[in-house]
Amino acid sequence: MRYKLLGKSGLRVSELCYGAMTFGEEWGWGSPKDESRRVLDAFGEAGGNFIDTANKYTDGTSEKWVGEFIAADREHWVLATKYSLSMDPRDPNASGNQRKNMVQAVDASLKRLGTDYIDLYWVHVWDFMTPVEEIMRGLDDLVRAGKIIYVGASDWPAWRVSQANTLAELRGWTPFVALQVKYSLLERTTERDLLPMARALDLAVTPWGVLGGGVLSGKYSKTGETIEAEGSKRIQTMTAGVPDEHLAIAEEVKSIASAHGATPSQVALSWVRQQEGVILPIVGARTEQQITDNLACLDVELSEEELRRLDQVSHVDLGFPHEFLSKDNIREVIYGETFPMIDNHRGLK
């Protein structure tokens, strides 16, 4: 395990982040307490020091167990949690990004976690209602109070993150240092604006959903109109809700995994790890065996040819204005004949 700086900060975090959404069985698919502890122990023994949870996960159980598991070595762990999602469906102020929910949520998380500070506090979603200045000033107050150290934005539009950080820098408030987004070989639309923004603003990126809901783990293969779950009986369905193009991507992942003597999950994780910028994939697991398999992605290095193959099969149109501005005739209008003669050290696209 190596370590990276968390965006525009000096904080050192492991190159993989553990996602504790599976801690607890309240939602019907998580892990019991003993297995959750073994999973986190395995992650820590491999050198992981970065753990991500949220107040909403398994109705608060995730935070409680995380706090208990790391209590003996709290200072070593980089602890991240989130607020924004509804904690009481009948209360309009028990959700959202506004100050009232922010203050109530951070105090409740500190209590569940059994700690007096949070290393990285995420705004879990953009709520479309709270002014950016209210959010950033409120987060800065929490930093000054010592309750949180760094702040991040999860599942926000790129232009809102840019607006928030510009405002924070102009007013001397604490800016976002990290961005959490859905990103995988099956979901690359974040490459249109979110990832270029992160590189430009020096934000670390912690992608979630990197295994595409299990599709990239080698769990499914297409046989005619049948999806076959490896190691179990066939599921008689058209495509089990998995689009054909996603199955094609999964097959390419499996082919490359076979050549490496690796699992498809390890290849899918390695593809994310090897993308441009500070990319810290979130890995989750319900069992010790699963986390051990995921951690082995650190030993898989994809070649340029393999990256090209995966890029080709999973490519997405970047849309306007990106595709428009990259056309040769448009570049000629902008730069004349000089574009290929200019060494652009910033590498902006």
The Cα 225–Cα 116 span in angstroms is: 54
Which residue among the candidates 3, 18, 57, 335 is catalytic per the annotation? Answer: 57
Tokens (6 digits) for 318:
């970047």
Other Cβ atoms less than 10 A from the Cβ of 13: the count is: 25
Is beta strand 226-229 parallel, antiparallel or unpaired with respect to 118-123? unpaired
Tokens representing residue 324 in the block: 């428009």
Q: Classify residue 164 as exposed, middle or buried by CB count within 10 Å of its CB (0-12, 13-18, 19+).
A: buried
Residue 300 CB neighbours (<10 A): 22
Q: Give the DSSP per-residue string, 31-89.
A: B-HHHHHHHHHHHHHTT--EEE--TTGGGGHHHHHHHHHHGGGGGGSEEEEEE-S-S-T
Give the containing element (helix H, strand E) for 195. Answer: helix 194-201
Angstrom distance (rounded) from CA 173 to CA 167: 8
Helices of type H across the chain? 33-45, 61-70, 99-113, 132-144, 158-171, 194-201, 244-260, 264-273, 288-295, 304-314, 322-325, 328-335
> Token pair for residue 156?
């926000």
List Cα–Cα distances, 32 to 74, 138, 169, 292, in angstroms: 22, 36, 43, 18
How is residue 198 written in tokens? 């992160």
Would residue 183 show up in a list of annotated catalytic residues for this protein? Answer: no
Which phi-psi region, left, alpha or beta, contains residue 60 (left: φ > 0; alpha: ψ -120 to 50)?
left
With beta carbons less than 8 A apart as the criterion, state whether 98 and 83 touch: no
Catalytic positions, written as ranges: 57
